[in-house]
Amino acid sequence: QVQLVESGGGLVQAGGSLKLSCAASGLTFSDYVVAWFRQVPGSEREFVSAVSSSGRGTYYTNSVKGRFTISRDNAKNTVYLQMNPLKPEDTAVYYCAARPGTLGYTPTRDYNYWGQGTQVTVSS
């Protein structure tokens, strides 16, 4: 029974901040790369960020570099995404996903496990 559960979404004004959490259970968390994706209805799911199993390596899509920070606490089986400052274009449902292996550019379909998503809405 593998579960990924996102939390921390909400409604904020542009320039504000949110910190998302992804709590995992049912897997050896320290063996998995964990990523954040986001999706607007009617659009393709977009990669946002990923963190290596150790937490020492990270990737960010260009639109969030310098604003978002991904981190993980393997003792708590949790990955975080600190978002500051937020822009209206960041509005989306945010999903966390996990796959075994090493950090690198990987097709979305290679992620084995997915959470149900948390809504982030940024007003202008």
Predicted pLDDT at 33: 96
Edge-to-edge strand list for the sheet holding 3-7: 3-7, 18-25, 78-83, 68-73
Predicted pLDDT at 104: 85
Predicted pLDDT at 31: 94
**Under 8 Å between Cβ of 29 and 113:** no
Tens of pLDDT, residue by residue, the chain (124 residues): 899 999 999 999 999 999 999 999 999 999 999 999 999 999 999 999 999 999 999 999 999 999 999 999 999 999 999 999 999 999 999 999 999 988 888 888 899 999 999 999 999 9
CA dist., res. 124 & res. 54, Å (int): 37
Give Cα separations from 90 to 48, 49, 82, 106 (angstroms): 10, 13, 13, 22
